[in-house]
Structure 1
């Protein structure tokens, strides 16, 4: 039996600001993100296994992505911790807001790289991350493919 890819989709709301950017996105704003996570592996063939026929249980994949990405980023504001936005971030944190201070400029491109690292670290040994697609708007998204990042 060959490899099979399966995909699970997730949604979350998050705000960010791009420090130093020369357009409107330098201002704090938000997006309704859509994250598609595709993994690849061989379906389980052991007839005695409770997950017979599955590459990974969609519920198990959901748990990983929810814990690593959705629960942390949903309704958070993401700032690059190495910018003057740190002052705004501290003020928001003091007021009880969910703020993520990232080691990177919080573009869709950098976020999808970060998400790939976090998800890959949690997948079972027999399942590999194939690709991620992070859609920021109806017409804009960033993609990450394992084959291009090995």
Structure 2
């Protein structure tokens, strides 16, 4: 049987700030992120399986990515918890804002690494994460490929 790649796309709104950065992105701002998730595997060959012919049901992939990434990051503000932004984060949380403190600088590059780890943990054994593309703006994105890692 052939290996097949399938891709599902997601979108979410997230704010962040890059502590120590020397440009405008040191300020709190947001993006309309687009995330493309590509997995690879063999289509199910068991004709008695209700998912016969599928690598993975798109709805199963959607559930994984929604629960671990989209629902967590959508309309949240992300800060590196190892910076003075924790004071701002506390103030925002105290005012009822959705704030995420992460162990990394919340760049697209670092976010896509985080997302890859989260997704890989949830995929069935016979399915592998092939690639991720996290688009921050219309012309800027970060990509993660299993073959590079």
Q: TM-score, normalised by structure 2?
A: 1.00
Deviation at 1:117, TM superposition (A): 0.2
Gaps of 5+ in 1: none
Q: Deviations over 1:89-116 (max 9, x none)?
A: 0000011100000000000000000000
| Superposition misfits of 4+ residues, deviation over 6 angstroms | none
- In structure 2, what is the Cα distance between the partners aligned to 1:117 and 1:98? 22
Per-residue deviation, residues 70-107 of structure 1 (Å, max 9, x unmatched): 00000000000000000000000011100000000000
1:14 aligns with 2:49: no
2: CA distance, partners of 1:124 / 1:98:
30
C-alpha displacement of 1:47: 0.4
TM-score (norm 1): 0.99
- Residue 64 of structure 1 is matched in structure 2 by 64
**Alignment match, 1:34:** 34
Q: Root-mean-square deviation (CA), in Å?
A: 0.3
Q: 2:103 maps to what in 1?
A: 103
Which sections of structure 2, spanning at least 5 residues, go unmatched?
Answer: none
Equivalent in the alignment of 1:54: 54
How many corresponding residue pairs? 149
